[in-house]
Amino acid sequence: MTEKQSKERRRKVVVVGAGAVGATFCYALAHSGLADDIVIIDVNVNLAQGQVLDLEHGQPFFPPVSIRVGDPGDYADAQVVVIAAGAAQGPGETRLDLLQKNASIVGRIAEEVAEKNCPGVLLVVSNPVDVLTYVVLKLSGWDRRRVIGSGTVLDSARFRQLLGNYCGVDVHNVHAYVLGEHGDSEFVAWSMTHIAGTPIDTYCAASANCTDWNTQRPRIEQAVRDSAYHVINYKGATHFAVGLALVRITGAILRGQDSVLTVSTLVDNAYGLKDVCLSVPCIVSEGGVARIIATPLPAEEQTALEASAAVLRTAIDQVGL
């Protein structure tokens, strides 16, 4: 690398956790051409080294990008730090045990990132992502805009894919969002769902493709919620689509794109909620969440959002920050 190239380099992404999610994200990010430097950190140093080597062998097929194993010193000039580190649920371990364990892992990483005066954005993907986003926000001591969770960006993609398939419309022209927890209490915001500016119910009532809409509507909502369980039942984990969702979020940050994305963010005095991290539509740009788009919801969706916030508040209280 020439000195000129090294000075120009500034799009550095550090990925903590080189498992299925972290590695898939690195692979997709390398392909995207969005980053100049991809740095991988894992407590399992051999795994990190192996992922780096495997990715490096793909360099003739990627846009130019440097990929290497790093250490906490790399946080000092990273634009984005993605936290995909976590422990798997062990035998006899409860979800609460796992929550405590992962809160301690990501909390320590957040403190290290803050200690290195990282100027960038912290993007959490480890589960339970909303609770851990809150943990990272508190333990980093950072401004709320710079700490985000991948939230329901993945769930919204699943929703759009199912709707596009059912309606026979290019998924890129389906606008639809899943709000609340990335988990069982999430819900689809039908009031925000449209195709070509036409509300989805109106669209489906007029489209010959949309047979049996009244039955399909709840089926699609349930399928979105069950998506992760289905994939996990078949192959043990999800990683391709979440890796791509992470590239979308990272790209919005690196390019200062002002994209509307349902990332998990601290919602405090918006949507009638206080002090909880969950997903609502946000403008995502260079510094993270530039602003929340606070749209009045119909009563049924507002109730669902409040119920989801209550579930998350209970889990946050269990961590005991």
The site for ligand NAD (CB under 6 A) is made up of 16-22, 41-44, 47, 84-88, 105, 125-127, 129, 150, 154, 182, 237-239, 242
Environment class of 170 (CB within 10 Å of its CB; exposed 0-12, middle 13-18, buried 19+): exposed
- Could you tell me which of 78, 100, 104 has the C-alpha nearest to residue 89? 100
How many Cβ atoms are within 10 Å of 117's Cβ, its own excluded? 9
- Could you tell me which of 75, 21, 71, 11 has the C-alpha nearest to residue 41? 71
Structure tokens that stand for 313 in this block? 């508040």
Structure tokens that stand for 306 in this block? 């409040």
Angle at 56 between CA 4 and CA 49, to 5 degrees: 110
Residue nearest to ligand NAD (CB): 19
Does residue 31 carry a catalytic annotation? no
**Residue 294 to residue 281: CA distance in whole angstroms:** 8
Q: Is the dihedral of CA 270, 130, 241, 53 positive or negative?
A: positive
* Least Cβ distance, residue 320 to ligand NAD (angstroms): 20
Of 101 and 217, the one with the shorter C-beta distance to ligand NAD is: 101
Query: Can you give the C-alpha Rg of the chain in angstroms?
Result: 20
- Could you tell me which of 140, 47, 186, 81 has the C-alpha nearest to residue 55? 47
**Residue 30 to residue 159: CA distance in whole angstroms:** 26
Of 127 and 285, the one with the shorter C-beta distance to ligand NAD is: 127
Of 200 and 308, the one with the shorter C-beta distance to ligand NAD is: 308
**Residue 101 to residue 116: CA distance in whole angstroms:** 23
Which residues lie below 8 Å from residue 140, measured CB to CB, with a gap of 6+? 110, 111, 113, 114, 122, 147
Given 172, 182, 194, 239, the catalytic residue: 182
The answer to whether the beta carbons of residues 40 and 48 sit under 8 Å apart is yes
The answer to whether the beta carbons of residues 74 and 41 sit under 8 Å apart is yes
Pairing of strands 37-41, 66-69: parallel
* Catalytic residue list: 182
